[in-house]
């Protein structure tokens, strides 16, 4: 299938800085979708000062764990991660502190799904006891509504 395909449709997504292409295999006629996204060449500066290459998979894993059983489609998670990558790439910086990435994820998760946000925040902020969790719940309960707010999901 590789190399012998034709593009049927292309759509760019400004929010995620990606391009979605609908393709068709010239040999078998099978149709499939590909996504092109900007390559993020950023070093992440950890708390202790050491640097490591940006790894998209770490964001995907963390967001997937936070969104388990929340009824969030895989496409929504993919778009979420693409949006984070686009925001990071648009900064134009070669090095970004890890805490900025975590804060960006939390900000976007909070508007996507408040329960997923709480799950992520409890790990990211290293909650030590139930009171820290309750304080966070009280803070978001007073804010705007996310996609899902209750335990029905």
Helices 56-66 and 74-90: crossing angle in degrees, nearest 10, is 140
Q: If residue 8 lies in a helix (H) or strand (E), which one and from where to where?
A: strand 5-13
User: Mean pLDDT across the stretch 48-61?
Assistant: 94
* Helix, coil or strand: residue 4: coil
What percentage of the chain reaches a pLDDT higher than 90? 57
125 contacts 91 by C-beta, under 8 angstroms:
no
pLDDT in tens, 93-118: 899 999 999 999 999 999 999 999 99
Q: How far is CA 76 from CA 4, 54, 81, 127, 137, in A?
A: 30, 21, 9, 27, 24
Phi and psi at residue 108, in whole multiples of 5°?
-75, -35
User: What b/e readout covers 6-37, taking b as 16+ CB neighbours within 10 angstroms?
Assistant: eeeeeeeeeebbbeebebbeeeeeeeeeeeeb
Q: How far is CA 60 from CA 55, 63, 64, 135, in A?
A: 9, 5, 6, 27
pLDDT of residue 114: 94
Report the predicted TM-score, pTM, of the whole model to 2 decimal places.
0.67
Pairwise pLDDT comparison (15 vs 8), residue with the higher score? 8
């Amino acid at each position: 299938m590789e190399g012998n395909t034709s593009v049927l449709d292309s759509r760019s997504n400004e929010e995620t800085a990606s391009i979605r292409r609908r393709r068709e295999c010239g040999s078998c006629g099978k149709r499939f979708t590909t996504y092109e996204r900007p390559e993020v060449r950023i070093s992440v500066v950890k708390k202790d000062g050491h640097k490591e290459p940006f790894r998209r998979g770490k964001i995907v894993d963390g967001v997937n764990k936070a969104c388990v059983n929340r009824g969030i489609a895989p496409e929504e998670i993919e778009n979420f991660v693409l949006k984070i990558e686009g925001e990071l790439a648009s900064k134009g910086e070669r090095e970004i502190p890890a805490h900025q990435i975590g804060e960006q994820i939390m900000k976007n998760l909070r508007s996507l799904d408040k329960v997923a946000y709480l799950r992520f925040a409890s790990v990211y902020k290293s909650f030590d006891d139930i009171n820290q969790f309750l304080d966070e719940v009280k803070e978001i309960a007073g804010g705007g509504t996310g996609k899902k707010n209750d335990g029905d999901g």
